Amino acid sequence: MPLDTSSLPKVELHAHLSGSISRDCLHAIWEQRRSAQPHFALQDPLDAIPPGKVDYDLKTFFPLFSSYIYELCSDIPSIKYSTLSVLESFRLDCVVHLELRTTPRAIPDQGVSRSAYVEAVLDCIQEHNARPGNAMRSNLILSVDRRNSAAEAEDVVDLAIAYKSRGVVGVDLCGDPAKGNVRIFSKAFARAKDAGLKLTVHFAEAPASSTDEELWTLLNWQPDRIGHVIHVKEELRKEIVKQKIGVELCISCNVHAKMITGSFQDHHFGWWRGSGVGVALSTDDVGVFCSPLSAEYAIAIEHFNLNNREVKELCTGVIDIIFADEEEKERLRRLYDSWDGW
């Protein structure tokens, strides 16, 4: 019998909050907003992001946020509603440890500051973690967008430090790989590391963001994990293995967005799985690419012929690269040891 990935306890380490909101949740928010404000003119999400459409590429993907999802989720009630919906979707998919990430977003016409945005998301995480019977533990990573200025990146780091005691565990670098110069963020990321925050960065996602200069700059930051890791030469791969940097791989996202050549079986998961570093299968944006983490594990099992022992090794390897303390790591190890689906 094939392993049931929907009941397999799973660890999700690379999920963007706004990209993880389901179409149904966006539609519910749209209906609420339209009934509260009769002049609310935004298009229905079911038309703007049609159900079943997953062929977004790097050109069509980023405007989805700036010109649509951010317009819809633009007040505290919609941010809280969508955050709780995202958390609950991961829990229902048997995710037992979630590191959600989001870009602090000010919404001046609603009087929402970046810190109020972060607090709203943390309130939801806190409430969700405390729900009786919930086996999923979530924490938060704050993202710097590549379009940010150096000063804006410093602000994100300030927020991450300020909210560390409330569950912010790290800082991420994300956004359109065709934009920005990562060097301007070196100081901000160094300060985050000095403050005891973990670092994860989107790495070699597209040819434009895979120059030697950019990738060595990012490796010099000594990130704890890197995401996507697509256009990486042998020399850099060796360095990543040497530094034992965990990799966050997003198979469906990379295939649907045509970020790799070929299909599932051609994904570089095939290279990294035997490399000795922790490999975290991840959804990236389940609201856009519609492949929950259980489906990502099923894809890996099917296309790379993983047996149960290999799946268990993959899962326990992820524990080593989570941004959490030993107690949480022990809890997860116990969950895998006691799972009766092996």
Q: Which residues bind ligand IMP (CB under 6 A)?
A: 16-19, 65, 102-103, 143, 145, 174-175, 202, 205, 284-285
Q: Which residues of 232-249 are buried (b: 16+ CB within 10 A; e: fewer)?
A: beeebbeebeeeebbbbb
The smaller minimum CB distance to ligand IMP, of residues 175 and 292, is found at 175
How far is Cα 123 from Cα 145, in angstroms, rounded to an integer?
23
Which among Zn ion, ligand IMP, none contacts residue 209 (Cβ within 5 to 8 A by kind)?
none
Q: What angle do CA 138, 140, 141 make, to 5 degrees?
A: 140
Which among Zn ion, ligand IMP, none contacts residue 19 (Cβ within 5 to 8 A by kind)?
ligand IMP
Which among ligand IMP, Zn ion, none contacts residue 323 (Cβ within 5 to 8 A by kind)?
none
205 is catalytic: yes
Least CB distance to ligand IMP at residue 14 (A): 9
Give 52's contacts (C-beta < 8 A, 6+ positions apart): 290
Nearest Cα neighbor of 295 from 17, 90, 102 is 90
Residues making contact with Zn ion (CB under 5 A): 284
Which among Zn ion, ligand IMP, none contacts residue 287 (Cβ within 5 to 8 A by kind)?
none
Least CB distance to ligand IMP at residue 18 (A): 3
Amino acid making up residue 86: V
The smaller minimum CB distance to Zn ion, of residues 145 and 158, is found at 145
How far is Cα 231 from Cα 157, in angstroms, rounded to an integer?
28
Least CB distance to ligand IMP at residue 19 (A): 4
The smaller minimum CB distance to ligand IMP, of residues 99 and 285, is found at 285
How far is Cα 235 from Cα 3, in angstroms, rounded to an integer?
36
Give 126's contacts (C-beta < 8 A, 6+ positions apart): 166, 167
Least CB distance to ligand IMP at residue 45 (A): 15
The smaller minimum CB distance to ligand IMP, of residues 5 and 83, is found at 83
Catalytic residue among 99, 205, 214, 248: 205
How far is Cα 75 from Cα 107, in angstroms, rounded to an integer?
7
The smaller minimum CB distance to Zn ion, of residues 155 and 172, is found at 172
> What is the token pair recorded at 191?
């300060």
Active site residues: 205
